[in-house]
Structure formats: C-alpha cells, structure tokens
Amino acid sequence: MKAEHRMGDSYTDRLFQWMQTEEKLPIEYEQTIKPKVYKVKFEGQPFILKGYRRFHVIEKQVEFFDHWNYAYKIAARPYPFYDRVFTISKLGCDWALFERVEGRHADFNRHKDRKQAVRILHHFHRTTKGIGVLSIPKDPLYVKWERRLEQFEETKDVFTELGKREMFQELHTCMSKRLEDFTDHPWGEVEEKAWDRHEWLHGDVAHHNFMVDADKNIKMIDFDLLHTGPRLYDHIQLAQRFLPYLELRKSTLLPYFPHVTDKEIWWKGVLVPADLLREWLYGYRLSLREEASMPRHMRKLEKAWENRKKFVRYAEHML
C-alpha cells in the first residue's frame, strides 16, 4: 500500500498490510469513515470495508441477501473476498465488503428524497417478506423507548442546572403519556404474526442509510440492525425522521405513507417524542466528552420541543 493512501493509524496500516501481503487481496485503502469502517477499492472498484465484533451480525446479512432476489435493485449488498467467502478475520474483527453507492445521503428536507425513501422502504418490505432466514427477535419498539425514557430521566439534573426544569417535566410527561397510549396495543399478537410471516425490518431508517446516486436512483445501505418484526416500526421511525422538516406543514406528513394500513396506531407511534430523546441523549454524551456544548445542545432541544408541541396539538385531532 502506498504511503500517501495510509491514514497513519497503526491499526489500519496493519490491517491493510495483512490483507495485501498475507491474504493477497487486491484491496486499497482510500478513506476512514469511522473506526473499522473504510472506503476502499477492491479489484479497482469502490467498496465499503466494515469490521464486526459480533460475527452473527454479518453472518445473518450474508444469508439474508443470498435469499433476497431483488437486492441488486435497491440495496448495497455484501460482496465476497473470494468465491463465496464473505468474511475474513483479523485484529479482533470479522471483516466484510459491501457495494459502495457513489452519491449523496438522502436529504429529508427535500420532498423528492422523502418520497423516494418511503418508496424504497416499501419495496424492501414487499420483496423480503417470507425470507426464512433465522432472526433472533429484538425487543418491541415500545420496550426500546421505555429504556430511552429511563436514560432521559438520568439527565434531569442537567435541566435543573441550566434552568430548564419545566421543559424536562413537559417532555417527560408527554413521553410517558404518549408511550403509555402506544404500548396499550396488542403488540404481542402483532409481533407474533410478523414473525410467522417473516416480515423484515431495516431497523435504522435514518437519512444516511438512503443513498442517492448521480442518476437520482436511491438505494438502502447498512443492514446491521436487520430483523423480523412489524413493518409499522420502520414506518413510524421514518415518519419521525421526517418530522423536523414537516412540523410546520402539519398536513403533509400522512400522504407520504399510503402503505400504512393501521393509521391510528401509526399516529400514536409518531406522536411518541422518542426521537427528541434520542437526539438529546446523543448530544448529551458528546457534551460529557467535551465534544459539544451542553447549553447549545439544550437550546437545540428547546427549539425542537416547541415545534413538536404544535405538531402534537394538531395531530391529536387526527386520532
């Protein structure tokens, strides 16, 4: 590997040196995206190289994609190092290659990107239903949100210190009430039905997991949280990702989701402000590591909460 392509990180240097000299792989380092995720060239073509601490995460994806006939149209697929060899192990990780979509992340501030994201997600749900790959069920969405509320409660002192105790109480009350309303649904039956039908979820429908290429085509990437479950979970979380851009144009959210059959429970899920808590907790942890300003992050939450309250008041009339 030529020196100008190295990042100067000894771990990365050792990894690529081993791949090239020991494994004789025609792989070239280009850029570090984040720890253990790299842009590379393999046989002269662009790929993503990812390292996994838990082998079953990549193993499940490889098997899943092997059964998904339409993957080439809408997803960045795993790619073999050798004939049918999709993983190699070194430096405490199992490494896998994925197709790299050259382009930009979706921008949920754009109507076309939102529409494309919903369309591609629906296509994913429709074409993967029935794939009988073993998937360990994950906790229901409401359980994940309950844990998030508990983590939010642990940050109460910060709100008090910054004079935002009232906002904490408002947000906590809203989250508790909306979560209770959402949880009061026969989720056990819904989940069991989804598992029996082998309905698959992407699990992380953030804007950065939808890539738009130069021809305006869109593909999904990063299937690390892939699992079986009610499709409604993906639809709720995608709607929440849209919300910051649509809260002031309240009536425009619902038309993006024509494939949602149970609109009432979908609305109840969308109204749980779990996304605000997620963003708050992410910034809170950055601030603890002194990688962000706590007061600035608090102001960001305050603005987001004011917009959300208006949206909630509107959406209550839809239920």
Question: Binning pLDDT at 50, 70 and 90, where does residue 318 land?
Answer: low
d(C-alpha 248, C-alpha 307), whole Å = 7
- What phi and psi values does residue 151 have, to the nearest 5 degrees? -65, -35
Tell me, yes or no, whether 248 and 118 share the same domain.
yes
Q: What is the pLDDT of residue 314?
A: 81
Tell me, yes or no, whether 93 and 220 share the same domain.
no
d(C-alpha 85, C-alpha 216), whole Å = 32
3-state secondary structure of 36: coil
- What phi and psi values does residue 275 have, to the nearest 5 degrees? -70, -35
Q: What is the pLDDT of residue 95?
A: 98
**pLDDT for 317 beyond 80:** no
d(C-alpha 299, C-alpha 304), whole Å = 9
Average pLDDT over the chain, rounded to an integer? 93
What CATH number is associated with residue 292?
A: 3.90.1200.10
pLDDT tens digits, 24-38: 999 999 999 999 999
CB-neighbour burial class of residue 251 (10 A; exposed 0-12, middle 13-18, buried 19+): exposed
Report the alpha-carbon angle 243-284-182, nearest 5.
Answer: 45
pLDDT tens digits, 296-312: 999 999 999 999 998 88
Percentage with pLDDT > 90 across the chain: 88
Residues contacting 127, CB < 8 A, separation 6+:
68, 69, 70, 74
Tell me, yes or no, whether 138 and 64 share the same domain.
no
Cα of first residue to Cα of last residue in the chain, in angstroms, is 60
Tell me which of 44, 76, 100 is where a domain ends: 100
Residues contacting 246, CB < 8 A, separation 6+:
252, 253
Q: What is the pLDDT of residue 8?
A: 59
The number of folded domains in the chain is 2
Domain that holds residue 139: 111-318
Q: Which of 88, 85, 82 is nearest to 49 (CA)?
A: 88
What CATH number is associated with residue 42?
A: 3.30.200.20
pLDDT tens digits, 186-202: 999 999 999 999 999 99
The structure's pTM equals 0.92
Tell me, yes or no, whether 50 and 178 share the same domain.
no
Q: What is the pLDDT of residue 138?
A: 86
Contact criterion met (CB below 8 Å) for 29 and 38: yes
Question: Binning pLDDT at 50, 70 and 90, where does residue 6 land?
Answer: very low
pLDDT tens digits, 36-84: 999 999 999 999 999 999 999 999 999 999 999 999 999 999 999 999 9
d(C-alpha 191, C-alpha 122), whole Å = 18
Establish if 106 belongs to a structural domain: no
Q: What is the pLDDT of residue 268?
A: 95
Tell me, yes or no, whether 146 and 203 share the same domain.
yes
User: Could you tell me the two tokens for 281?
Assistant: 């907790």
Percentage with pLDDT > 70 across the chain: 97
Tell me which of 73, 100, 127 is where a domain ends: 100
Length in residues, the chain: 319
Of 133-142, 150-159, 210-219, the one with minimum mean pLDDT is 133-142
d(C-alpha 193, C-alpha 109), whole Å = 35
d(C-alpha 282, C-alpha 276), whole Å = 10
